[in-house]
Structure 1
């Protein structure tokens, strides 16, 4: 059964949290983590690029969101990259080196013994084999994963399905479990980003995004924060429109971005260097987010010169989170 449709993530997020906090079906404690839970949940976002949460209380970290999405496209599951943007993720690594469950990129781009690039395969299917196909599936969860309690990093996502209909690319995600307060915000951002990337590669418009979850829940540890968000209608301003990924984005684009990101992280790419990069404005803005984050991480104030040239849509998110 299809639940409500939403034109923006903010309303989808608020309604989902409200439903779980006040209409939950179960209270349980998997692995000792108390939660309120709904089973068999689905919801649709009709405008996937509108993946940003405008709640002033939530303080979305859009720098991490772009980093995680590009981490998936890197084809890796290394801890070093993502923990730079989210140090708390280190606690989920079983070996201090990788995130074999959470790092979806390794399975998206290098699946199994044959290191299958699933993203390139679905693009080929939809462009060259059968545009009406129902077989364009990106598998993430693997039966080989250790599902016992001893494993701290099991894939939450089962898979992603791409459906090209009426020249628009739709996506359906299938998740075994989803933490609605933290995980859903980040997951929908990354999955719709991936959807937009594949649409840009195919050269079609983006359709709708459907989020399907076996167990969606709010943990007791974030329940009060969810209620605080629901009790506040204060939003950050919306200058301009949601940035759209340019048609023509390619694997070469992503490789260059990841190379530049590495140089930013190591301090080799300066503010002045970025003005001369051979990239579209959309991607230069993403790199500028990474450069701004590094300045904050090393103890500098939010740089005014960077705020003045980055897409105005991003400015309120940066100010709201880091002042």
Structure 2
């Protein structure tokens, strides 16, 4: 019996899948006009799901969007008002210009439906508290009625999430009907492992492994050149760049998420601007203070239109997040410790 490829973190899984589909793809497809190379049935397992950020200069990962999307999911939202600010391209997937459909996974996971008083997430946690070895902790996301929508612009790629408690750890298995490996995979795994960690905190458990299954693992032809540059960088570097990622505080609750999002809205709408000292005095755990620092950086990028972000905010970021911001927005790199990235 074959088991998923076991790897320590997302960067290793990302590079492994890019190599697989670039060098040994099964098919060349053109679904809805998107030419792509495809492997049918791919999987991996992360032994340390907190290693959810790749550090590759050519990929220029956006940690601000990743945290925003994870929080958007955790809050059970589907509005474009928030997520469209961090990713304007997502607006093209909306049927009404205000909300997203299938891709608003958090709306399905964290909101009660069909007359229930509890969300699917809360139902699963309730089950796992009473039956720790249960195999029934599955949260379905893809809905059959999505197929009935003619020319659906936003069908869920996520089929569902399976939470399993084993030996005092919370493991999670994710089932995707499809994944764009160069784009969607990175944000999906970041958000889903955040949801896994949030669930583990609510249950008082340690984090277990994260397993990811993909029906159609593909790379769009329009991104092939970037993928090539990423793979060349990975081969050429003397050693991978690594930064530790802290554990989510055990005090984190839905109220914590709401508190962080209250600050996020004030920054997004430019009704507030924060210094590093202001964020430190917010009362939030240092873990969540880092997220506010990122949102303040993005406020400056979007609203102030200056050539250098306030260095006290940048320099208060953890080294890994600072590295990513400096490589994503090179114009701001000079503000990082006198120009160091």
1-structure distance, mates of 2:180, 2:280: 39
Q: Which residue of 1 aligns with 2:301?
A: 296
Instruction: Give me the whole-angstrom Cα distance separating, in 2, the residues matched to 1:302 and 1:125.
Output: 47
TM-score, normalised relative to structure 1: 0.95
The answer (yes or no) to whether the contact 2:18–2:182 under 8 Å persists in 1 is yes
1:173 aligns with 2:177: no
| Residue 266 (str. 1) matches residue 269 (str. 2) | yes
Which residue of 275, 278, 281 corresponds with 1:276?
281
Distance between the aligned counterparts of 2:175 and 2:252, measured in 1?
A: 26
Question: Residues 147-199 of structure 1, C-alpha deviation per residue, up to 9 Å, x if partnerless?
Answer: 56611100000000000100011100011111111010110111001001111
Alignment check: 8 A CA contact 2:94 2:100 kept: yes
Aligned to 2:260: 257
Aligned-CA RMSD value: 1.6
Alpha-carbon distance in 2 for matches of 1:212, 1:111: 26
State yes or no: 1:16 paired with 2:17: yes
Q: Is 1:322 aligned to 2:321, yes or no? A: no
**Alignment partner, residue 76 of structure 2:** 75
Q: Which consecutive unaligned segments of at least 5 residues does structure 2 have?
A: 331-341
1:156-171 alignment runs, 5 A limit: 156-171=157-172
Aligned residues: 321
The answer to whether the Cα contact below 8 Å between 2:280 and 2:286 also exists between their aligned partners in 1 is no
CA distance in 2, matches of 1:76, 1:125: 24
Q: Provide, for residues 57-114 of structure 1, a one-character-per-residue CA deviation record: whole Å limited to 9, x for no partner.
A: 1000010000000000111111111011111111111111111111111101125332
Deviation of 1:218 after TM superposition, in Å, equals: 0.6
Unaligned runs of 5+ in 1: none
In structure 1, distance between residues paired with 2:184 and 2:50: 18
Distance in 2 (alpha carbons) for counterparts of 1:237 and 1:206? 23
SS at match of 2:53: coil
Corresponding residue for 1:312?
319
